[in-house]
Structure 1
Amino acid sequence: MLTQVEITHTFNAPRELVFKAFTESKQLQNWWGPKGWTFNVSQSDFCPGGVFHYSQQPDDGDVMWVKFVYNEIIVPKKIVYTSYFSDEEGNIVRAPFNEKWPLETLNTLTFAEDGGKTTITAIVAPAASATEEELKTFGESQDMVHEGFLGTFNQLEDYLSKVSK
């Protein structure tokens, strides 16, 4: 069973610009998350041990809170963070779409530049604390994880085309 998902996407923008789009909340709110959802940043502290806590909400649904805790940051090459669904206060809660989803996922993003273009490789995996049932659920949800990241990367591509002119 696959216990990690790898997504790669190349952007027609320099690495510094792409990296900043991931690290500055004023930029993130313009492209992060599902298309058409309302996005609000509650806390943003981009440093090792720092927290990024936000809410997102579809037009026809309930608000969903997510929290990142940054584990490692190498500017402008790499971001490693633990991600989990949370309540408004930042406490870990079960995923609203599947109670068997891993409580925490480890996300590693690397940024490589070549000829003015930037390739991001995102690796998403359940945290070491995941149960067998959570690992199974994650393994069965590979397509959902891919689609989520690809949709988000497409929005970032649109955003970058507007700010890099």
Structure 2
Amino acid sequence: MTAYANGLEITRTFDAPRELVFKVWTDPEHFAKWWGPQGFSLHVAKMDVRPGGMFLGSQRSPEGFVMWGKFTYQEVTPPEKLVFVQSFSDEEGNTIRAPFDPNWPLEIINILTLEEENGKTSLTLQGGPVNATEEELAAFEKMRPMVQQGFGGTFAQLDAYLASQQ
């Protein structure tokens, strides 16, 4: 059970050791090669993976549309857990509204846990809006299928990237 409203939970198993899966989530050279919607490129401006640290980056669509986003890391426990609050931002890292919906939650918490068994890593991602208004919760709920589909595509890219690293 999640401690936030409208939470998501996605579990996926990767044919890779937990240390490698954790590394590709926390090393900017790796992260830039798989994170985000399929077809988008990611520019990592900053990645300071420690409690209170920040990831700041921009995603470019195939059509050239650029969106900035940030993670503020809450908990970092190598190689088993990452907790971060995700937001849309400007180039300086100031939180802004999502470009696609003025009611999208300003903050989404993501709790990533990794468990290894027989050389394979089970990744569980839980998350949802934090400090959200009723309108923001409704917007998240309406977009839930697209969010899940988006993570499915991102995790497919992660799977392919992990295979290329072994």
Q: TM-score, normalised by structure 2?
A: 0.95
Identity of aligned residues (%): 49
Letter matched to residue 78 of structure 1:
K
> Equivalent of 1:69, from 69, 72, 89?
72
More off after superposition, 6-15 vs 30-39 = 30-39
1:126 aligned onto 2:134: no
Distance, in Å, in 2 between the alignment partners of 1:121 and 1:111 is 7
CA positional deviation for 1:104: 0.5
CA distance in 2, matches of 1:57, 1:28: 15
Residue equivalent to 1:104: 107
**CA RMSD after TM alignment:** 0.9
Question: How far off its partner does 1:38 sit?
Answer: 1.9
User: Which string of whole-angstrom CA distances, capped at 9 and with x for unpartnered residues, describes residues 41-94 of structure 1?
Assistant: 111101110000000011214210000000001111110000000011111111
Secondary structure of the 2:29 match is helix
- Secondary structure of the 1:56 match is strand
Cα distance, 1:141 vs structure 2: 1.4
Take 2:115 and 2:99, find their aligned partners in 1: how far apart are those partners? Answer: 34
d(CA) in 2 for partners of 1:38, 1:131:
31
Q: Extract unaligned runs of 5+ from structure 1.
A: none
Q: How many residues are aligned here?
A: 162
> What are the superposed Cα offsets for residues 23-53 of structure 1, whole Å, 9 maximum, x if unpaired?
0000001111112212101111011100000
SS in 1 for 2:34: coil
2:84 equivalent in structure 1: 81
Per-residue CA distance 1:84-110 (angstroms, 9 max, x = gap)? 000111111111111111010010000
Q: Would you identify which runs of 4 or more consecutive aligned residues in structure 1 move more than 2 Å?
A: none
- Alignment partner of 1:54 is 2:60: no
Give the letter for the 1:159 counterpart: Y
> Which residue in 1 is equivalent to 2:117?
114
**Worse overlay, 84-93 or 54-63:** 54-63
TM-score (norm 1): 0.95
1:24 counterpart residue number: 27
Q: Distance in 1 between the 2:35 and 2:164 partners?
A: 15
Tell me whether 1:41 sits opposite 2:40 in the alignment: no
- Aligned residue type for 2:126: I
Instruction: Give 1:13's aligned residue.
Output: 16
